[in-house]
Every structure is written in structure tokens, then in C-alpha cells.
Amino acid sequence: MGLLGSSVSLLGVLLAVLGYLVWTGADLGPLNPLAQVVKPYLERFSTEEPPERLFTPQQLSKYTAKSGSPELYLAIMGKVFDVTKGERVYGLNGGYSFFVGRDGTRAFVTGEFTEAGLIDTVDGLGWRDLLGIEEWVQRYEKDYTYVGKLIGRYYDEEGNPTKELLDVDEKMKTAHSEKNAVEEHKRNFPPCDSMYTEEDGPKFVCTKESGGIERDWVGVPRKLYTEAGSDKYRCICVKNTGPPAGDPGAAQHSDRGDLDNPLVNLQEFDGCASDASACKP
């Protein structure tokens, strides 16, 4: 190896050692100014996440265009996101500037964009709204940069989840179960399609795709009364042969599908054959 080659290798070794020392944060004495120059370059190649920041509501409130901040931050469920790239929407004249500088979780599903509505509690919201909030959080995680946590309702001063957050997490799990149950119910009892023809007038029809639910059975239209004491009903298609829709492998069944399901209050349409796939309302 020539003189040039060995000097290059020596320089390489020196740089590697210097890089390592800078990286570990060692005190390099007179070389400290050099470390300050090198560090940002090293950080650029780092795969480590930047440290998470903790905000008090007061600190978060400064990250608005109104306060003259170039960086715009908002919080949802106590998670703080940098939404600066959405300046058009969240900046001074943006239509959603009220979300910035605070945690307005509740308003993401209530649409109440007032001081009273822009609050962080989800208390008393139904499962659909809770899932709506979860979707918004996922959307911010996907579209914007997460910067840290807001100290308050959902995170304590060490950044640990509060009891309230853990309770909401539990309610989210229940919300998912409710959604699954509703979807399963809709698969087993799909809505009828409404049709209108010149000769027959309006009709409720069951097909293998009615209600947008694809299945391998047609079913028969039945009235489903959902409100006690009311004559309002929805038309649903009920499986009328073979095992129940929700239990296709049932060894023992009456070959009447879900017609005898005791949990669903069903009624036939007047003047319509029990096994007809279309009935007049």
C-alpha cells in the first residue's frame, strides 16, 4: 500500500472514532465545536426516532398561526401532531384553524366547532363516534408527523397514559365488537332492495345481492319492527331454507333458515306468499 493509501485509511479510522465519540455524546474538549458540525450529519443517517416531546396545554396553545408560530400543532386524544404542511387548512385563513393549538377531540365527530364543542373529552359518545375518533387519529398518524403528548386528560406529566385513556381504550375495543356484531347482523339479515315498475308499482325485492350484501341465498322479504310501539319498519331479507345464515354448519336445523329466529321481530307482508322473493309494501 502506498503512502497515500495508508493516509486515507488512517483518516477513515480517525473519522470513524470521531463519529463514534460524537454519537455517544462524549466530551471532546477542544474538538467540541467540530462535534457540533458533525452531529447533524450523523443524525440524518440515524434510524432512531427523535425523542418524544411533552406539552402542557399552555405550550401547545402557542403553536397556532394566530400566535405567530411558523409551526402548527394540534392534538387529538392527547397525541400532538405537526400539521404545518396543512397550513392552507390550519393556518390563519384556513377553514379548520380552530383545531390547532389544542385538543379538540370531541369536535372531530360532533362537528361542534365552538369553544364549548372543541374539548378533549369523549365521555358519553356512542360506539360509532368512538370509532370515528380512532379513524381521525389514524389519519393524522398517516398524513402528519407525530411530535409528542399533551399533558392532561390522556397523559400524565411523565407521558404515561392516564386511567381515563386506558378506559377509553377499553371502550374502543367494545366499539369494535359492536361494529362487528352490527355488520354480522347486516350480513345475516340484509336489507331488501326497493324497486318500482310501471305495472306493479313499488316492491321490496330479495336477490343474492340485495342490500349490497353478496351471499349464496336469496331470502324472503319480512318487516322488521325496530321501535317498540311504532308502526315503522325496515324491510329485510330473511333466509328461509337450510340452516340459519349465521350458523351455516349447524348439524341440526329446521330447514327454515332464520324464519324462527326468536331474537328478531319479523312479520310477513300482507297479501304476499310466505316464500315469495318480492312483496308489495
Nearer to ligand HEM, 86 or 148 (CB): 86
Nearer to ligand HEM, 89 or 218 (CB): 89
Nearest distance from C-beta of residue 216 to ligand HEM, angstroms:
38
Which residue is it, cell 324497486?
195
Torsion of CA 86, 91, 96, 99, to 10 degrees: 90
Nearest distance from C-beta of residue 143 to ligand HEM, angstroms:
6
Nearest distance from C-beta of residue 147 to ligand HEM, angstroms:
15
For helices 32-44 and 3-24, angle between their N-to-C axes, nearest 10 degrees: 90
Nearer to ligand HEM, 94 or 159 (CB): 94
Q: Which residues bind ligand HEM (CB under 6 A)?
A: 86, 88-89, 96, 99, 108, 111
Nearer to ligand HEM, 74 or 220 (CB): 74
- In whole angstroms, give the CA distance from residue 74 to residue 150: 10
Nearer to ligand HEM, 70 or 111 (CB): 111
Order of strands across the sheet that contains 145-150: 53-55, 145-150, 79-82, 73-76
* Nearest alpha carbon to residue 152 among 181, 175, 119, 179: 119
Nearer to ligand HEM, 99 or 155 (CB): 99
* Nearest alpha carbon to residue 133 among 154, 159, 157, 162: 154
Nearest distance from C-beta of residue 61 to ligand HEM, angstroms:
18
Nearest distance from C-beta of residue 252 to ligand HEM, angstroms:
48
Is 241 within 8 Å of 217 (Cβ atoms)?
yes
Q: Is 22 exposed, middle or buried (0-12, 13-18, 19+ CB in 10 A)?
A: buried
Nearest distance from C-beta of residue 95 to ligand HEM, angstroms:
6
Is 246 within 8 Å of 257 (Cβ atoms)?
no
